[in-house]
Amino acid sequence: MTNEAPSRRYAKGDAKRREILEAALTVISERGYRNSSLQEIAEAVGLTKAGVLHYFDSREDLLTHVLRERDVAYGDLFTPADGDVVELLRKAVVYNQTVPGLVQLYSRLAVESESHEHAGHDFFKERYQTLEGTLSESIRARQRAGQMRTDVDPVAMSHVLTAVSDGLQMQWMHDPTIDMAAAFDAVVAVLAPPAP
């Protein structure tokens, strides 16, 4: 938990910490999650395992922070000022097709963090809750604007869109030829209101 607060650190340490986060994703992308041990990541930044664990509480904690960084880079998908989260989610799906390492990492952690003891448990729990809130709100906005049928429950449909995003990635990892964007668009299209 001490690592959570970025309060008191040297500039060198701060840079190294960021370097580790980047290296972790690079190693996963190049060698696969399965072969990305703490050792491998440490070597990639010229440290030992213990050296890396000085910055992060555990391997799980490190990998979770990589995902946190990603969400930051994704902009305000999870804290949108007023944007359409459905559209943001679609953009994320499209973008994910260019970063297989990130998809691997995300899928692994999303499943592993089911355990309460997992360092990323709270992160994912909150992420799913936030996503339910912002997505369902965007769906309601679309319904008010006449862009989406009104006979669907916004909360149920937010679960569906989240599931589609997560689930498509699982299939895509097994078969990268499937078109995630097309599949996502197929759902959204069906949600459009019938022509008068």
Binding residues for DNA (CB under 7 A) = 8-14, 16, 35, 37-40, 46-51, 53-55, 57-60
- Nearest distance in Å: CB 58, DNA: 3
Residues 138-157 that bind a copy of itself (CB under 8 A): 149, 151-153, 156-157
- Nearest distance in Å: CB 6, a copy of itself: 27
Which of a copy of itself, DNA, none is residue 122 near (CB under 5 to 8 Å by kind)? none
Size of the residue set binding a copy of itself (CB under 8 A): 49
Q: Which CB, 38 or 139, lies closer to DNA?
A: 38
Q: Tell me, letter by letter, the H, E, C secondary structure of the chain.
A: CHHHCCCCCCHHHHHHHHHHHHHHHHHHHHHCHHHCCHHHHHHHCCCCHHHHHCCCCCHHHHHHHHHHHHHHHCCCCCCCCCCCHHHHHHHHHHHHCCCHHHHHHHHHHHHHCCCCCCCCHHHHHHHHHHHHHHHHHHHHHHHHCCCCCCCCCHHHHHHHHHHHHHHHHHHHHHCCCCCHHHHHHHHHHHHCCCCC
| Positions that interact with a copy of itself (CB under 8 A) | 32-34, 104, 107-108, 110-115, 117-118, 124-125, 128-129, 149, 151-153, 156-157, 159-160, 162-168, 170-171, 173-175, 178-179, 182-184, 186-187, 189-191, 194
